Structure formats: C-alpha cells, structure tokens
Amino acid sequence: MSSENSMEVANVTVVTKGKAALVEVPLGDGAPPAVPEGNRDLQAAFKDYQKKRLEVRREARRREAAAAEIRRTPEAMQALRERFVQKVEEYIGTPYAASYHQEEGSEHHNAPLYLDCCALVRRCVRDLADDFGFVLGRGNQAYQFDTLPERKDSIEDLKPGDLVFYQSTFVEGAGMKPQKHDMVHVEVFVGGETGEETIGSLPHTCWRTNNGEGGVCGVQRFPSYKCEATRKWKLDKYWFCSIDTWLKGQCQSCCAEHDWKEAMLTEKGCGRSLFDLAAADNDDCVGAED
C-alpha cells in the first residue's frame, strides 16, 4: 500500500449552497488542510457580497448627504413646504376616529382610514418621507412640538404648513390625564382668506365643526385657529411653530425634560384623541375635545 493510501484523513462536513457533504481531508504533516474547492468559492462569494453591500451603503450615504444639501436651499424648502400643505389638503374628509362610527349605519363605519390631529401631521410627513429625509415618529402632538424648536411670536409670523399647538389646562372633573407640556391639540396653518385658516382633525361633536349640530367629523378646514376653551379644557397659550427644521431634514427632540426615544423608534401607535370620550385613560395622542 502506498504512503498516499495510508495517509490519515479526517471527515469534515462542508456546507455549500445550503447542502451539507462529508469530505475526507488529509491531515498530512501538520500543514493547514486544503479547503475544498466548493468552500473556497463560497467564501469568495461571501466576501464579494460584503464588499458590494458596503459600496451600496456608502453610495446611499453619499446620495442622502447630497439630498440634504439640496433640501437646505430656500427654493427646495419652499417647494417641500407647498407639497406638505397639498398633502394635508388631500386628507380633508378623512374621519376622526372609529369610536364615533361604530354603528353600521354611520357614514364612516369601517372606514379604511381614520386620522386625529397628530395622526394627520404624522401621516402627511410620512407620505413625503423621501423628501423630508426622515420618518416622523409615533409620538403625539407634544412629541411633534419638541422636534420643532423654532417658535414664532404670532400667527402673522407663520407660513402655510407651519403648526399651531394648543397648550391647555383640563377643567376639574374632566377625567383626563395630564399631557406632556399640557399640549392637547395641533393644527396646520394655511392662512387663506382670513389669514388665520388652519386644517385640523376634530370630531363632529366639537363646537368648531358647526357648533356641534351635524358637524363635520374628521379632517377639515377652519376659518380660524382660535379656540379659547372647550368643555374639558381651558386654553393657556397658543404655540406657533415653524416647520423649517423638518424642511432641512432634521427631526430630533430638543427637549431635555422628556425622553421620546420610544416614540421615535417603536410602532406601538398613537392612541385616540381627547375628543374620544372612551380615551380617558389613554395619554398617547390627544386633541382639542368637544
């Protein structure tokens, strides 16, 4: 018997293209055992894959940086602002919450989509995520407020697309949990003929939707942003916030008081609004109530 035939071997399992095979590998005189040809091909392919994936990531970062530079120009920011307002207008007529339309005879029973105040803003920003350069997190209007640090003194200082936030105090017996920054509602400023028009989402029970008598439920245009009080809260202050920060591709909480990491990263969703009487124990997303 030749020395070649008497050489010791070891049985090694090699996995190639998802299939396992038992291969005899000579042990030799201490030199590293030869890697089967099929396994060398697999390793080379994996290295090529890693290299290509790294190149794709680098190219994506390069494109994102270039897009961010474009977004920072005044012309691009204004164009995106206009697209945002157009997107908000597209949702006019979307009902407020399913809880108001549980009866089968209701006009909006089992509607494909419901949007309350903060959900309207979030939905429109997410629809334009490629243009904004980020995905707006799941937090409510208080979270949105914290990501817009550029505040204005009055409604006259706003541009269409900017946001109006409502900071309010609940009346005694309202049965509502306190909200971060006491923010209870948000609307999108559009200006219009009155110079005070906004688009927001409210239930048909709110006095602002035709005095609560056969009012419109959901996303709608209002002749003015003004709402000093409801049955459950009294206004403390209007906050007028520019969305320029978002238009520059930046969405990060500027509040040291509240940790919005969960709201930004999770998909647990936005709860129902303060308008929804069944939402008394839910402090996720609330709006100005009826």
pLDDT of residue 286: 44
Rounded CA separation 58/66 (Å): 12
pLDDT tens by residue, 146-202: 999 999 999 999 999 999 999 999 888 877 788 899 999 999 999 999 999 999 998
- Scanning the chain, the segments in alpha helix (DSSP H) are 3-6, 37-71, 74-90, 117-127, 129-132, 141-146, 244-247, 261-265
pTM of the predicted protein model:
0.69
Q: How many of the other CB atoms lie within 10 Å of CB of 143? A: 26
Amino acid in the structure at residue 152: K
Look up residue 173 and give its amino acid: G
10-residue mean pLDDT profile of the chain (290 residues): values are 49 52 53 57 80 78 66 89 98 83 70 88 95 89 95 97 95 82 95 96 77 74 91 91 95 86 47 37 42
For every residue of 81-117, DSSP letters joined together read HHHHHHHHHHTTT--S-GGG--STTSTTTT-S----H
Residue 5: CB atoms within 10 Å: 6
